[in-house]
Amino acid sequence: MTEQEGTPQMATEEPLIVDCDTGIDDALALLYLLGDPAVDLRAVTSVFGNTDAVTAADNTLRVLELVGRQDVPVTIGARVNWRGTFHPAPFVHGEDGLANAGLPAPASAPREEPAPETIVRLARQHPGRLRLLALGPLTNLATALLLEPKLPELVEHVTVMGGAIHHPGNVTAAAEANIHNDPEAARIVLRAGWDITLVPLDVTMTELLTEEHHNRLERTGRAVPSFAASILGHYLDFYERDVFGARSAACHDPLAAAVAVGDIPCHRAPGLAVDVDTGDGPARGATIADTRGSYSDFPNREDTSARVVLRTERSFPQQLTERLCGFFDADSHHAA
């Protein structure tokens, strides 16, 4: 893997699985993808993280039904990490994971198939074409690798929202939440040898949603952007109180979704050797990337394990807002 400029070569029409712990930014990412009819979303698999895996699946169904996409199957995955623990984040995402926004209970239920088996089955059905977008801890992907060791040969590409390279962590000084929630699983996934893109805090913390974006969503008065405004307001509250001291919120999962379908240019995305600290010290969950090549514009290396996005245009929040505002209510016959 070498440094690439411009938009990644990732086609929206290829089948996609989103693996997520549906909280606020996961919901925004799903809506972003669902707003593009060219995105072939084949399944959403849930994992613990922002909330528990069962609630994450329920939240996913609520979001899908909000936009009339009950055709997308949802399956439940890992409830705890490889050490058997789980620590949700209600202080960020609300007690229900969706800022207590009051979306109606879903009419449908998750499928009985476990999430890792969903990933393996669809990879076998679409060899060399399936893409994975991981927006939570990587436990489901690591488990799927155990079920099917040839998975990296069957999957065309994996995009992971996670890690922090030059940026500080967001749950510890060194670690980002998704990787920290299951470092052992993350290490397995990053060492698996598939084509993988990592979208770390280095870029997601620089693409900022603001009160202006929130107000734009709110002014439409329509169901989907109003829901987005409601959960974004809660998110802005958290970031103002605990992170930035101002009404701005990081664009974690939606940015990774846009990278996964090739919607935004990545101005610095070198191939790097990336490892994960699985020890019990203060660096547990840290992503350790060899960035020494930055002094010579990242020359080609044979030991790279991931393409790591280190710089974007910082204009994506406006793109996300316009996409969300493009949703019209179900009884409307007008295009966005």
DSSP 97: S
Q: Which of 157, 213, 214, 252 is catalytic?
A: 252
To the query of whether residue 21 is one of the catalytic residues in this protein, the response is yes
Distance CA 252, CA 201 (A): 7
192-208 exposure pattern, b = at least 16 Cβ within 10 A, e = fewer: bebebbbbbbbbbbbbb
Are the beta carbons of 77 and 86 closer than 8 angstroms?
no
First-to-last alpha carbon distance for the chain, in angstroms, is 38
State the DSSP H helix or E strand holding residue 267, giving kind and residue range, or none if neither: strand 266-268
Q: Read off the amino acid at residue 202.
A: D
CB atoms under 10 Å from CB of 291, counted, come to 16
Rounded CA-CA distance 272/304 in Å is: 5
Residue 252 designated active-site = yes
* Catalytic pick among 19, 21, 182, 263: 21
For residue 129, give the H/E element and its range: none
Tokens of 148: 């099917």
Residues labelled catalytic: 21, 252
